[in-house]
Homo-oligomer: A and B are copies of this chain.
Amino acid sequence: MNEIRVFSPATVSNVACGFDVLGFPLDSVGDEMVVRKTKAKGISISKIEGFDLPFDIYKNVASVSAMSLLEVAKPDFGFEIEIYKKIKPGSGIGSSGASASGSVYAINELLGRPFNKLELTEFAMKGEFIASKSEHADNIAPAIFGGFCLVKNLHPLNVLQLPTPTDLYAIILHPQIEIKTSESRKILPKMVPLSDVTKQLSDLGGLVHGLHTGNYNLIKSSLNDHIIEEYRSKLIPHFDIIKSKVLEAGALGCSISGSGPSIFALSKGNDLATEIELVFKSIYSKSNINFSTYISKISSSGVVTI
């Protein structure tokens, strides 16, 4: 096999009570990438469509990730990457994570799978780092492993795959405003009241237990963020009314995806997901902000060959 085309999913990270540790991938929103072997060693980017991203291999997350893999694999040939970017950079649904995950997954396939998913996640994190200036895996890990992933530890990396109920849908609202991850990190509180920590712990514990037991009521009562949301939501127009209305409509939860500006909601079943998307649309269409919405099941596979 000399060439491969992959779908690399958008991902929701943070996931309310799971700040910095929890994420899940979408199965119908993501980038496509074509990767093919080249005689010349090293990595090149031959095409980027969709959004304006650097061809400089030291600045593009896809190539930086790929090079970190090649440093270990040391093949006597190279790879060129075509990126069909569908996730807008800076959207908060793991745009850089998708690029980083897609390239290492594709190259690993072309090399005959010398690396496991944990190793691929580590390579991809090198690319993610140049985009977000912080080391984290809560977009990469779900993009590579699939399903709800808890990043238990970064050094050494340990990723836990949590059970993902099959009837769970994510609904995304992407307001087309720019919030850079690095800036969004700056407004985070450095210190958190102990009483809020306790609430977040019980909610995260509840969510993990709820996913294991398929208890939607528990999942619903656990999808709260007592730590970050109140700060970051100020950067997202109409967040409070959006959240209030989608919860009223029956959403299991609603919070900020990644560092924003995208908002995600979760629902049991597609019918409710459609209603929630209508709520998103009805509120944002009255604003003067361009926006996109998506409905997607949670991907159980993550990045896949297509």
Contacts and interface: CB of A to CB of B under 8 A. Distances in A.
A20 B193 contact: no
Interface stretch (A96-104, A195-203, A268-276): A195-203
Contacts of A191: 191-194
A184 to B, nearest CB: 14
Contact of A209 (B160, B202, B203, B206): B160
B194 A190 contact: yes
A208 to B, nearest CB: 4
Contacts of A158: 206, 221
A131 interface: no
A209 to B, nearest CB: 5
A200 B206 CA distance: 14
A152 B193 CA distance: 18
A18 interface: yes
Interface in A175-224: 188-194, 197-198, 200-206, 208-209, 212, 218, 221-222
B194 A150 contact: no
A19 B198 contact: yes
A162 interface: yes
A217 to B, nearest CB: 10
Contacts of A298: none
Nearest to A188: B194
Contacts of A212: 208-209, 212
A26 interface: no
A218 B20 contact: no
Contact of A205 (B194, B204, B221, B227): B204
A259 to B, nearest CB: 14
A138 to B, nearest CB: 10
B221 A152 contact: yes
Given A162-B209, A209-B150, A221-B152, A201 B202 contact: no
A198 B152 contact: no
Nearest to A160: B209
Given A158-B221, A160-B209, A209-B162, A21 B194 contact: no
Interface string A130-171: 000000000000000000001111000010101000000000
**Nearest 7 CB-CB pairings of A with B:** A191-B191, A208-B208, A21-B202, A20-B198, A152-B206, A212-B212, A150-B205
27 contacts: A18-B201, A18-B205, A21-B201, A21-B205, A150-B202, A152-B205, A152-B221, A158-B206, A160-B209, A162-B209, A189-B194, A190-B194, A191-B192, A191-B193, A192-B192, A192-B193, A192-B194, A194-B227, A197-B227, A200-B201, A204-B204, A204-B205, A205-B205, A205-B208, A208-B209, A208-B212, A209-B212
Interface of A: 17-22, 150-153, 158, 160, 162, 188-194, 197-198, 200-206, 208-209, 212, 218, 221-222, 227
